[in-house]
Amino acid sequence: MRKLATTFYCICMLMIMQGKAQTFTQLQKQFTAPGREYGSAPLWVWNTKITKKEIDLMLQDFKDKAFGGVMVHPRPGLITSYLSNEWFDLFRYTVAKGKALGLDVWIYDENSYPSGFAGGHVPDQMPESYNQGQMLQITKTDTFPKDTKYLFVCVQEVNGSFKDVTSQMQELKGKTGRFYLFHKRYYSKSGWYGGFSYVDLMVKGVTEKFLEVTMKGYEKVAGNEFGKTVKGLFSDEPGIQAEYPNTVRWTPDLFSTFQQKWGYALQPNLPSLFEEVGDWKKVRHNFYQTLLDLFIDRWSKPMHNYMEKHNMPWTGHYWEHGWPNPEHGPDNMAMYAWHQQPGIDMLFNQFNETSPGAQFGNIRSVKELASVANQLNKKRTLSETYGGGGWDLTYKDLKRLGDWEYVLGVNFLNQHLSFMTISGARKGDYPQSFSYHNPWWQHYATLNNYYTRLSFALSQGQQRNEILVIEPTTTAWSYAIHGKNHPHLGEIGNAFQAFVTKLEKAQVEYDLGSEYIIREHGKAENGKFIVGQRAYSTVVIPPGMENIDGPTYKLLKAYADQGGRILLYEKLQTLDGAAGNALDFGEVHHSLDTKIFPSKDFNISFSGGNLFHHRRAFADGQLIFLANSGMESTATGQLQLKGKDVLLMDLFTGKIYDYPAQSSASGLRVDFNVPAAGSMLLFVADKQQAGFPAWPVKGTAAAVNTNTAEAVRPAANTLMIDFADVAFGDTLLKENHVTNATDVLFKKYNYTSGNPWNHEVQFKDRLVAKDTFTTHTGYTATYRFEIEEHVAFNKFTAVIEHPELWNKILVNGKAIQPVKGKWWLDRSFGVLEIGALLKTGENTLTLSITPMSIYAEIEPVYILGDFNLSAAAKGFKIVPPQPLQLGSWKEQGLPLYGQSISYKKELSVANTGQQYEVVLGAWKGTVAEVKVNGIKAGIIFTDPNALNITKYLKKGTNQLEVIVTGSFKNLLGPHHNKPQPGIASPWHWRNIKAYPSGKDYDLYDYGLIEDFRIIQYK
């Protein structure tokens, strides 16, 4: 007991020396306003011609919405030349503006992704980064070819043995036998890489060149702010994957490195990488181990060292969703070890707890990150979150997905993306966008403040888990073949995913173990299996783990000899990929009983919901975060744990309350109810705490009788027209979807991949320099819409993108000019006052440009006004407006409406001393704002869908207003080809073959489906 107490004291002192808030007093002091260090930082997409005016507007907006900083992210659509003098001048300006506003500015190190090619500058300046070959492709033949000029390695099989016969090519020409022939393959060139190919990050000097061409300019204009306002650097999905079928990854010194590491040659064993011949498990294991070490040595270490030298954290992520397939990187956790602030991405809005390749719901993926942070003492862990979830993401979605990541170990929120513009193809670039465009943007500070406090809280103390589950990564290597799905590889992934998920659902506290990190940071000492800063009392060999690496085995054996506890759920069969005889650590368990993993002095029991917890140790107590990732039901249960007092830390307000708990001889029992997508942050103190108000308990509820709410549309209704007749040269595209028409048009003008702003990056000024079209080029786009009788259209307006581009703008054949200085939706969208030019029946809006311009994408146009829409045979037609009622907007003539609707009623109050709540019943929207007597009282976006309005009420008659906000899903799409919910990518706006009826557009319900209620508590 004395030894345990001494160990705990040393741990606490270490934690204090590391500068973390290790007492509740320190946590409390900073909780309400933690500071920008803990604020979220979005990927701020520079995807247009960047101006200082736009930088000013957006940075101020980010500050107003409670962001802690921004990550400047060049991305397709960028017109300003990347890494040019202009680029760096704009970055210098951004840093100065950010410093003045108190915002951190992060460098995103690539023009789009994956990191490493510097927008084409690395392959341009260093041809050996790509021209030496990156793959070996296999050809099997029974006759040796006479043409050998492309052959690189030749292997012959004789009686089951393999021999390198490369040096005998001349004498083997035309001979028969069983030959495995290998030739080099090269990464393909693509507009995605600025017209170059990706680079080989395992070639010596490539990363150094990448740092040179990328970072020297930043050093020059902002080096004095490195580690200050310029907070750090984000790398995005660097990888070492093979590209073509029947290939394996290769790099110039692969063979020599392999020989030196393993003591035998890889060349005669290359067939084992493709077929189960020879000692294939060993060869594949050794091959991927070699690739991992090369990837770390050539990429991770130079990046890590550069950031250490410049006092900045290196963050970002890899393509971690491919596990257990090692293609992009053989060991996710090994890569995280070299980041000062490791990260992952969690995109889309498709919750999947079973697939190893899933994004949200993939417990393993987040636990890999959290485990490395625990073991290697990394305070912050990032997740690039929400991207591609679609314009329809609600605040409830945003909170549910964020909380799920945080409860598993993330504590830095990086939103994907914040568009500078949504013009052209950019609006389909994996939306959501955290920017002024969104109809819910004005309320976003509420969520940002919540995650700032949560990021701070979960960055303090220590998560100390007693159980280590070794990840079967090195086993998976033996079953990986590029381009082929070995069934056992899937079995390994599925078994481990299910195992980890079951542990998490049972509230077992554990870390995952990487054999690379164990090799570099592991030891066995005093009956503990130690990995870096963590000491484990139980080590688990999980299902699917057949292989163990030599260093891991050596440490496990020493740990076992010291009496350490090892639980096997799979029999170990190979050592470094080779068959092993003495790998037995005891009985193999064939099923998982989570009851054998009790947590000392801590227990959670509950029913309903999908509950997770995160626990952190402090010198004077423990912090517990509960999150319900279910979307339907409340998680109701209790905590039983050591402690003397419980405090609830309100993440929305920053207030702290004394929370009820029942004491017993063994500690405390704490009851909880966490609603769907809800959360709770508790501090359980070792001593009684004084001075905190009691957690408010509601009295007896009674419904207040009120009139039915009146629905009011505060903004003009919208008709979006996404099909047009497009004429250029002798071509007429009749009723073509705008995305298809744009691709056809640009291909006509020799842009082979279609729209150059859609999924292509510009190297230097190569795209804009081609904007030299002759006089007789260009096109005319005509958009058609019908207005029924009895519609008052005299105040209608139209919205078009980039009105300055067009030589002619015609409405029903009559010229019109945009209203100077007026915009809608995006600051590059111009407004036309078209009412006087309209007529009952068919109308046309025509845009003409000559000569052609590279900036002239064909995009939807919008008609705004007081009208309703009705489905037509093709698209929608404008019909007379009707009074709004409760119910779905799209069923009431607003199918494409993307803004807000207000619902108003009166409330008579005789006694202001009682408590009142607004309660929403059935409703559909991203967020609902509540106003009382014209004053904002707060927002509602998740269960229990209630808001206390007492302090805003006055005696007598009060005006209540609930404003339900929709989304841009119905306005901007995707609308066609039956898109799957929860994901939106550029491809969802492509391959649209015909102009459908409006009834066939993919649209969501929005609106107050039931009237809101007023509840009085007595």
User: Is the model's pLDDT at 13 over the cut of 90?
Assistant: no
Burial of 505 (0-12, 13-18, 19+ CB in 10 A): middle
| 3-state helix/strand/coil string of 322-388 | HCCCCCCCCCHHHHHCCCCCCEEEECCCCCCCCCCCCCCCCHHHHHHHHHHHHHCCCCCCEEEECCC
Q: Where are the beta strands (DSSP E) in 8-68?
A: 43-46
The DSSP symbol for 952 reads: G
Element (DSSP H or E) covering residue 618:
strand 611-618
The DSSP-derived string for 86-145 is HHHHHHHHHHHHHHHHT-EEEEE-SSSSSTTSGGGHHHHH-GGGTTT-SEEEEEEEEE--
pLDDT of amino acid 840: 98
Q: Which residues pair with 43 in a beta bridge?
A: 71
pLDDT of amino acid 866: 98
pLDDT of amino acid 665: 81
Of 1-10, 665-674, 872-881, minimum mean pLDDT range: 1-10
Cα(438)–Cα(444) distance, integer angstroms: 10
- Residues above pLDDT 70, as percent of the chain: 98
pLDDT of amino acid 881: 98
pLDDT of amino acid 713: 95
**Maximum CA extent, the chain:** 105
Within 10 angstroms of residue 168's Cβ, the number of other Cβ atoms is: 14
| Phi, psi values for residue 724, rounded to 5° | -145, 160
Query: Does 417 sit behind a cis peptide bond, omega within 30 degrees of 0 on the bond before it?
Result: yes
- Residues above pLDDT 90, as percent of the chain: 95
Cα(510)–Cα(496) distance, integer angstroms: 14
Mean pLDDT of 958-964: 98
User: Is the model's pLDDT at 7 over the cut of 90?
Assistant: no
User: Is the model's pLDDT at 19 over the cut of 80?
Assistant: no
Nearest to 425 by CA among 741, 875, 189: 741
Mean pLDDT of 47-76: 98
User: Is the model's pLDDT at 229 over the cut of 70?
Assistant: yes
- 89-103 confidence digits (pLDDT tens): 999 999 999 999 999
Residues 429/422, Cβ–Cβ less than 8 Å: no
Q: Which residues pair with 184 in a beta bridge?
A: 136
Distances (CA, A) of 63 to 30, 103, 684: 19, 7, 34
What would the two tokens of residue 696 be? 């408010």
Which residues have C-beta within 8 Å of that of residue 549, sequence separation ≥ 6? 289, 474, 515, 518, 519, 575, 576
Within 10 angstroms of residue 871's Cβ, the number of other Cβ atoms is: 15
CATH, domain range 884-1017? 2.60.120.260
Which residues have C-beta within 8 Å of that of residue 290, sequence separation ≥ 6? 254, 257, 258, 261, 262
Within 10 angstroms of residue 37's Cβ, the number of other Cβ atoms is: 15
Distances (CA, A) of 608 to 403, 521, 571, 672: 17, 40, 36, 12
pLDDT band of 16, cuts 50, 70, 90:
very low
Residues 940/927, Cβ–Cβ less than 8 Å: yes
898, 899, 904, 910: CA torsion to nearest 10: 120
Radius of gyration of the chain (CA): 31
The DSSP symbol for 317 reads: E
Distances (CA, A) of 254 to 203, 208, 294, 334, 866: 10, 19, 8, 19, 68
No. of helices (H) and no. of strands (E), the chain: 20, 57
Element (DSSP H or E) covering residue 28:
helix 24-31
Cα(988)–Cα(640) distance, integer angstroms: 49
User: Is the model's pLDDT at 30 over the cut of 50?
Assistant: yes
Cα(649)–Cα(629) distance, integer angstroms: 19
- 596-631 confidence digits (pLDDT tens): 998 888 999 999 999 999 999 999 999 999 999 999
User: Is the model's pLDDT at 694 over the cut of 90?
Assistant: yes
Domains 717-873 and 884-1017 share a fold: yes
| Phi, psi values for residue 368, rounded to 5° | -55, -50
- The stretches of 409-537 forming alpha helices (DSSP H) are 445-457, 473-477, 487-505, 515-521
Of 337-341, 358-362, 713-717, 911-915, minimum mean pLDDT range: 911-915
Instruction: Parse the chain into domains and list their residue ranges.
Output: 119-203+233-311, 467-596, 717-873, 884-1017
Nearest to 946 by CA among 923, 967, 965, 966: 923
pLDDT of amino acid 666: 81
- Angle of helix 24-31 relative to helix 445-457, nearest 10 degrees? 160
Q: Which residues pair with 622 in a beta bridge?
A: 617, 684
Cα(9)–Cα(214) distance, integer angstroms: 46
pLDDT of amino acid 18: 42
pLDDT of amino acid 15: 43
Cα 278 to chain centroid distance, Å, stands at 42
Assign residue 630 a region: left if phi > 0, alpha if psi is -120 to 50, beta otherwise?
beta
CATH value of 717-873 in 1.10.10, 3.40.50, 1.10.260, 2.60.120: 2.60.120
- 449-458 confidence digits (pLDDT tens): 999 999 999 9
Local structure of 650: helix, strand or coil = coil
Average pLDDT of the chain? 96
Within 10 angstroms of residue 100's Cβ, the number of other Cβ atoms is: 11
| pTM summary value | 0.96
Local structure of 55: helix, strand or coil = helix
- Tell me the one-letter amino acid at 468: L
The DSSP-derived string for 806-872 is -SEEEETTEE--PPTT-EESEEEEEEEE-GGG--SEEEEEEEEESS--TT-----EEEEES-EEEE-
- Angle of helix 395-408 relative to helix 445-457, nearest 10 degrees? 10
User: Is the model's pLDDT at 323 over the cut of 70?
Assistant: yes
The DSSP-derived string for 918-950 is EE--SEESSEEEEEETTEEEEEE-STT-EEE-G
- β-strand 578-579 against 574-575: which pairing, if any? antiparallel
The DSSP-derived string for 541-584 is E-TT--EE-HHHHHHHHHHHHTT-EEEESS---EETTEE-SS--
Local structure of 235: helix, strand or coil = strand
Nearest to 368 by CA among 348, 343, 385: 343
Mean pLDDT of 252-278: 98
Which residues have C-beta within 8 Å of that of residue 99, sequence separation ≥ 6? 225, 228, 229
pLDDT band of 21, cuts 50, 70, 90:
low
pLDDT of amino acid 11: 43
Residues 568/586, Cβ–Cβ less than 8 Å: yes
Mean pLDDT of 801-818: 98
Mean pLDDT of 349-375: 97
Cα(29)–Cα(72) distance, integer angstroms: 32
Mean pLDDT of 883-891: 97
- 140-150 confidence digits (pLDDT tens): 999 999 999 99
Mean pLDDT of 583-606: 91
Nearest to 923 by CA among 897, 906, 942: 942
- Tell me the one-letter amino acid at 633: S
Which residues have C-beta within 8 Å of that of residue 664, sequence separation ≥ 6? none
pLDDT band of 14, cuts 50, 70, 90:
very low
Within 10 angstroms of residue 391's Cβ, the number of other Cβ atoms is: 26
- 551-566 confidence digits (pLDDT tens): 999 999 999 999 999 9
Q: Which residues pair with 903 in a beta bridge?
A: 711, 962
- 667-688 confidence digits (pLDDT tens): 899 999 999 999 999 999 999 9
Q: Which residues pair with 71 in a beta bridge?
A: 43, 106
What would the two tokens of residue 329 be? 């990187």
